[in-house]
Structure 1
């Protein structure tokens, strides 16, 4: 299973090569955004299938970026690892800020998925040549502002910034804060984070520059090259120096945009003024981002259905099943074959009389699993559970029968009926199962209604397909 670790500045040198070659053209696929907005995104990372996998935690919910490929990366295998992680952890599978051109293949990958694409998420993408030259009538406004700026400050010049301790930067932030009139918490936070990003200039991950006029910085910019796109994280200019903003935009594109066909000036954060400004620079495209909330076939169920075999009804668990169900769940000798110790999920919580029934109820409410009570003459004698979705039309299935009812074929009968229901009524593409190699009874049960699908040192694996 994937193991994640926190994404911090200390890991930047390890992760930057992924972003350096990433061609998704979106600002979220940059090291700078992950570092600058880490207190909002809470990004953690791992590497699998030659890819960088980012797990963010936004407002308490885990969401995953689309995998970033390394030299021999396999996006499909990385997605499968994310799917398995979410299934094992009983987490919803949410892929966020997916590049629009990846969305169609993901819609085909997942049988049940909700797709969301909002206008405010889109990044503003410009041809580097357009911003570097401001050529043609459509950019006459920008040229006029720059010409006035250069008339007012004939000594104005663009300079590269490489030293985080450059005293000119310190002076710029002092001047900028004196003119900064936005009072919103997000604007103030963004300003503080922008200053923090300039402290990373000596890492070599970013390129930065400023516009000097009369010996002091009046505008600064910091960006990151990701594939063929220059992702511009920070653009600031003193309000008192009219024309400094378009001047830094043009000079930065001309001096730092080499090797990049595109400049991404990020989204507008739902700010009307920012949107107006970004549109005035005439983006060549809007970089779309898609959120995919992947569901499962259990989402269509309003309640646990009832099934009937030749001898056994399979129904929802009932409050009257509590004692029999507790005995089934607490049978350690029997449940060593179940592959799950209830104490793991219990943690420090007390074991109440309703714990197991409540857990099954909660799993179905979240559509993580469905538990069928196996009954004989109305009495609960075991259960069949459909659980651990793969989000691609498959679930794992397990079955356990109370010891006093073993040896009569009840498990085989109930398991086969539930698997058929899952495939032909629920609409799954596959049902999988496994058993410990030492558990000969389970192996015989699974072999009777499923086909073998490999083995390892611990388990025999089985599957049943439509």
Structure 2
């Protein structure tokens, strides 16, 4: 039986429900109301990490609210609502926190909504720029072709891979349970000796959740892999975030095979997102190596995110 979280609002008792696979059909119409570019705003992201953040949701006719928990503090992300109904949604959030006798805490809030809130609620909130959570956005054609001097090193790595493993590799779209099992085998192999065992466990469970419910998610979710000598050695998971932007949720490759990471990066886009204008490769979480890797692909811009706290 799904969990239900109760709180008393001014007008009535409302219900927050835990996100499960059945919430997809409920929330998708609300995602279609918005064209947000941040990686948090698609069902697969919320569903993948639902256990990490204890994610719950609430819907009305005009908006949907997604809430979670981070470091012991309840938070809400940007409401799924049209611009015309944004005030109504935010007022609902303010009432929620007031009735819970908690300070308002919003996460992954875009600059546009920050500007809106500063005007509507002057001197009520503190706005914190979260650079570690900025999403990296790239020109899709640039990632598919890797043209120009700035991408010479990437092309060199790919060319090494192509020459070294000539006629020994192939790209495949992954859609079958046995292929997903191969991905799980790889994850287990690569986890050996990992220093961040808790982080790996969370990611492992998030990926398994997508595989276990691929049938329900496959209308949007795309998964591709690279086989070397008939063995899966890399895979990537992504989907369309809005009409002109894809988001890459997961990218994994055998680090001992030179050129494999840039090759799966490129080929996943070439095969699954061949004409998508922009690619969101999510945030770097402040991890130095990850930031260096994401910057090396020369992002065209960032999706800025803010934490909003009631003063």
TM-score, normalised via structure 1 length:
0.59
Q: Is the 8 A contact 2:52 2:202 kept in 1?
A: no
SS of alignment partner, residue 57 of structure 1: strand
Match of 1:7 among 8, 11, 19: 19
| 1:77 counterpart residue number | 88
Structure 2 residue 69 is the aligned partner of structure 1 residue 57: yes
| 1:201 counterpart residue number | 214
SS of alignment partner, residue 29 of structure 1: coil
Deviation at 1:54, TM superposition (A): 0.7
Instruction: Note the residue ranges of structure 2 that are not aligned, 5 or more in a row.
Output: 1-8
| 2:6 counterpart residue number | none
| 2:117 counterpart residue number | 106
- Classify 1:37/1:28 alpha carbon distance in 2 versus 1 (closer, same or farther; 3 Å): same
| 1:29 counterpart residue number | 41
Q: Is the 8 A contact 1:55 1:62 kept in 2?
A: yes
Q: Is the 8 A contact 2:65 2:89 kept in 1?
A: yes
| 1:125 counterpart residue number | 137
Structure 2 residue 173 is the aligned partner of structure 1 residue 149: no
Q: Is the 8 A contact 2:81 2:89 kept in 1?
A: no
Distance 1:287 1:17 in 2: 23
Instruction: Note the residue ranges of structure 1 that are not aligned, 5 or more in a row.
Output: 296-466
SS of alignment partner, residue 15 of structure 2: coil
- Alignment map for 1:150-229 (pairs within 5 Å): 150-155=162-167, 156-163=169-176, 165=177, 167-180=178-191, 181-184=193-196, 185-203=198-216, 204=218, 205-227=220-242, 228-229=244-245
Structure possessing the higher radius of gyration over alpha carbons: 1
Q: Is the 8 A contact 1:49 1:75 kept in 2?
A: no
Deviation at 1:178, TM superposition (A): 2.4
Structure 2 residue 305 is the aligned partner of structure 1 residue 293: no
Distance 1:220 1:139 in 2: 22
Distance 2:180 2:45 in 1: 21
Deviation at 1:68, TM superposition (A): 1.3
Alignment RMSD: 2.1
The Cα offsets for residues 324-363 of structure 1, whole Å up to 9 and x where unpaired, read as: xxxxxxxxxxxxxxxxxxxxxxxxxxxxxxxxxxxxxxxx
Deviation at 1:134, TM superposition (A): 0.8
- Classify 1:99/1:170 alpha carbon distance in 2 versus 1 (closer, same or farther; 3 Å): same
Deviation at 1:259, TM superposition (A): 5.8
- Alignment map for 1:32-431 (pairs within 5 Å): 32-69=44-81, 74-111=85-122, 112-155=124-167, 156-163=169-176, 165=177, 167-180=178-191, 181-184=193-196, 185-203=198-216, 204=218, 205-227=220-242, 228-258=244-274, 260-295=276-311
Distance 2:86 2:27 in 1: 17
SS of alignment partner, residue 4 of structure 1: strand
Distance 1:294 1:173 in 2: 42
Deviation at 1:224, TM superposition (A): 2.3
- Classify 1:191/1:3 alpha carbon distance in 2 versus 1 (closer, same or farther; 3 Å): closer
Q: Is the 8 A contact 1:224 1:231 kept in 2?
A: yes
Deviation at 1:14, TM superposition (A): 2.1
Distance 2:44 2:278 in 1: 17
